[in-house]
Amino acid sequence: MSMKSEKEETINLVLIAILTVIGFWVRFITFNKNELTHWDEGIYSFAGLWWATKGGAGIPPFVHIKYSPPLYPLLSSFLFIIFGNSAKAPIFTSILLGTLSIPTIYFLGKKLFNGKIGLLASAFLCVCEYHIIYSKMALTEATFLFFFLISIYFIYKAIWEINLYNFILVGISIAITSSIKYAGIFTLLIFSLSLLILTTLRKNNKKHAIILKYFLITLVIVAIFNLPWVMLIINKVGIRNFFNHFLSFSIKKTTNILRTNPKHILCFLSLWISAPILVLSVLGFLWSFYKPRFENIFLILWFTTYFFALTLYSPYPRLTLPLIPVIILFASSGFQSITSPLRNYKFISSAIITLLLIFSLYNSKDTILFYANSYKIAGDIINKKTPIDASIFLRTQANLPFYISRKVYSLEESNDLYSQVKNVGTSIFLVWDLTIDKNSVLYKSLIKEEKLKLIASVKNKLHPIVILNRYNCLFFKNNKNLFDFEDYIYIYELQN
């Protein structure tokens, strides 16, 4: 490496460090106020607490998350040791690994293109609202994307430098990624297609038998990591229930080939990625056809493979997250292509990129400053205003029990309420989260019969992306203020 290159690399690393600090700050700024808000956050938190306390508290991961891999709760369990039995532990896990994705995409961009594109990609990810959202929540997504990027890095490296060592690294990285979220297995599909197409285009001198041998070793590594957990879950729920669960979220409940209309995926991306980055991404994509290169083909394979996989599954916006790095890398490439004539006027391109980042940060301000603590407030009220021997029945999201020190029961949607609450004590309280249960027949009948005495109500302010699944994405797209949606959590005492 020349002295000039060493100097550029040093400058890039300093800038990456600055971007990482900024990225951490915008994800951490509301940490002290932010609590669990999404249904699955409570489930993952209980599982992490179970790991941290070695079964002394929480709920075993194979009870509530039978169909989710164990690695994210296991990772968060180490932070429970620092934060105690607090929901801050899994939230901080997302903040930390979400932040570490910023330098990770730099090295990926540098591997695919060059240091400048890697730096631009880091800057765009730093201020990307879509990524910031999930980096502030106790969900698998931010952690998943971090390891997903590492997998993609090793995949491209293995395709470009075919040897056993690189294929082993691919196997390990894919195994870890799919141990956080089953969608991680799509990286294996990306690897398979990219290996087949790019090695054919490159006319690689390695014998096909050797490449196949290395690929099979990769498959064995992934299987060794994942099969024990899969077999444990199958043993718990049965192989039929295991596969029916996945089918219920994909093709089982639709007569169409596609479970999700592609326009909804595109709508998710347009809602939470700033317009300038999307425009630059389109320019970068078009530029890739003007000057086709292997790295551009790889990005297209990555995007199309994962995009198609998403159309076979339910329209959850969080599943779209692994498409964002492709968009960002194309945007970085697009910016470099349109500013290349200004290479002798670097201050102009630097000024433009600074303005783009400031615009993106401003555009993301509602998400950066957003925090949700409704369930903690409701839990505190229940702990203070109900007798120690009270029986609490919940018709709420799964995260509310994390904040309640009383014994809680799940309230089923049934007109036969008293058969559910008999033999549990004389002091009975019902908690309803109307965010998820607006049309409850049981709730309406109890209100009509005046069987419920209101103890407290808590305004349930949720980030729009949490409730997006209940609405058509285009409905949100046409709404002027996405942050105006709210419901209430009601705490009642059941009257005789």
d(CA 352, CA 340): 13
pLDDT of residue 106: 98
Report d(CA 277, CA 124) in Å as an integer. 8
Residue 418 confidence (pLDDT): 66
Per-residue pLDDT band at 116 (split at 50, 70, 90): very high
Tell me: the pLDDT tens digits for 448-478?
878 888 999 998 888 888 776 555 566 665 6
Condensed to tens digits (0 to 9), the pLDDT of residues 213-223 reads 999 999 999 99
State percent of the chain over pLDDT 70. 88
Q: What are the tens digits of pLDDT across the range 276-293?
A: 999 999 999 998 888 778
pLDDT higher than threshold 60 for residue 252: no
Two structure tokens written together for 358: 């400031």
The mean pLDDT of 2-8, rounded to a whole number, is 77
pTM value is: 0.92
Grade residue 417 by pLDDT with cuts at 50, 70 and 90: low
Residue 67, pLDDT above cutoff 70 = no
What are the phi and psi torsion angles at 493 (to 5°)? -105, 130
pLDDT exceeds cutoff 70 at 256: no
N residues, the chain? 496
Residue type, 26: V
pLDDT value of position 273 = 92
State yes or no: pLDDT of 28 exceeds 90: yes
- Encode pLDDT of 292-317 as tens digits: 788 999 999 999 999 998 888 877 88
- Does residue 485 have a pLDDT over 70? no
Which whole number is the average pLDDT over 162-186? 94
Count of CB atoms within 10 A of residue 59's CB? 19
Give, for 44, the enclosing helix (H) or strand (E). Answer: helix 39-52
pLDDT at 390: 84
pLDDT above 90: residue 368: yes
Mean pLDDT to the nearest integer, 153-172: 95
Which tokens hold the place of 70?
Answer: 């164990």
Please give the mean pLDDT across all residues of the chain.
Answer: 86
Residue % of the chain over a pLDDT of 90? 46
Lowest mean pLDDT among 164-173, 182-191, 262-271: 262-271
Beta strand 452-461 with 391-395: parallel, antiparallel or unpaired? Answer: unpaired
Measuring CA to CA, which residue among 323, 321, 303 is closest to residue 190? 303
> Considering only 148-162, 201-215, 218-232, 247-261, which range has the smallest mean pLDDT?
247-261
